[in-house]
Structure 1
């Protein structure tokens, strides 16, 4: 199975970071940016069944099914889950149904955190089709009021984040962040709207005015998950996520 497991000498809490697409380079990029005082395990969706990148609602559904085919029999191994796709990914509620361990999506986590740090949160996403997709998904999550500066496309495809030269990617993202989200939309917090942008928050922040906040959504997802674990909070099994 496509897991990268952490050594576990002392039975600290274990969190599984899930990349629901099949591009292992994205998993490695995320893995290189995360630090925590718990055991972090990583999972990449199977290449035979999952898309290389998630660019549509169809990709979300297909990738969720591919992940569940491998994960559902093993969910009791982890104390929390982070689904590292910047969408209302269906794997998040599926994991909440299958396990009492907290399951966090990075879209939800970053908007909730961002709204505590500023009044006009904006999202910098990849391709133009993600602008309406994300606006619809944010509304479905009940978080439309947390995204006052809206969603702005950088024009890059998801796989461009990995395949284009890093300097070119950063230049495009910085221009969209500073010229559109900051100057035209008045954002005071910018969320990087793709897990493939992991680790770029400092570079994008340097292109914006001092004091503006830039958030890596995967780090937001992990920190929210860890907070729930430390509180001893569990997914409710009465109501929405009650066992079938």
Structure 2
């Protein structure tokens, strides 16, 4: 089943964390890494028969959004908030905002907004070189370029490498890039991890950098921002861009 529902049946708000690719291991990693004390966390993995195993560009994003919406569009009323766990301006984010008044948080937007309050030279550590121009474009389209002064740096790893390669090899590559390229060469003071597959790796990468470096896990940031909006009664506006047709 694509849904992993919380066993908690209390009256707490419910948040659905969406993995828009079909790799269950990424969903399981988020399930292990994420904790919330005052909301129920449910998880969703895109269907294996129609969604890509990883999202490596615009085509994959569109296909994965369509696959998810086929299953989610009639179910959105069950949740009080949503996290779209793809580090991009994924089309599923705005599509869900049109379908619901619940807050829908992107793991690209949330950490950049948090980072802008924590430092002045924010850098993104992503996966393959393909994502460098794609993320520069996506960040600009969200009007967040000013929050990304240190730019986007590729680790050279593909998305699926994060799950399939030996952990030691993955961590060595990520830590080296964070330290040598973002910290030393680009003078970043905040590093945002640029892939949902990096969930839970922030502490190890922070420890590889100089004292005082801030490293943000994008999935945790998006969940916290979504939950904070629920707490203050924040809703997706239905006047303007996300108005119901």
What's the TM-score, normalizing by structure 1? Answer: 0.99
| Runs of 5+ unmatched residues, structure 1 | none
For residues 162-198 of structure 1, the C-alpha deviation after alignment (integer angstroms, 9 at most, x for no partner) is 0001111000000000000000000000000000000
The aligned residue for residue 140 of structure 1 is 141
The aligned residue for residue 233 of structure 2 is 232
Q: How does 1:214-225 map to 2 (within 5 A)?
A: 214-225=215-226
Point out 4+ residue stretches in structure 1 off by more than 6 angstroms: none
Following superposition, the deviation at residue 8 of structure 1 comes to 3.1
Q: How does 1:36-51 map to 2 (within 5 A)?
A: 36-37=36-37, 38-51=39-52
The aligned residue for residue 116 of structure 1 is 117
The aligned residue for residue 7 of structure 1 is 7
Separation in 1 of the partners of 2:31 and 2:135? Answer: 25
Secondary structure, counterpart of 2:42 in structure 1:
strand
Separation in 1 of the partners of 2:9 and 2:55? Answer: 35
Separation in 1 of the partners of 2:195 and 2:123? Answer: 13
Following superposition, the deviation at residue 49 of structure 1 comes to 0.4
Separation in 1 of the partners of 2:235 and 2:208? Answer: 40
Following superposition, the deviation at residue 11 of structure 1 comes to 1.4
Following superposition, the deviation at residue 10 of structure 1 comes to 1.6
Separation in 1 of the partners of 2:164 and 2:202? Answer: 19
Following superposition, the deviation at residue 12 of structure 1 comes to 0.4
Following superposition, the deviation at residue 9 of structure 1 comes to 2.7
CA RMSD across the alignment: 0.6
Separation in 1 of the partners of 2:103 and 2:40? Answer: 15
Report the number of matched residues. 244
Separation in 2 of the partners of 1:52 and 1:63? Answer: 9
The aligned residue for residue 16 of structure 2 is 16
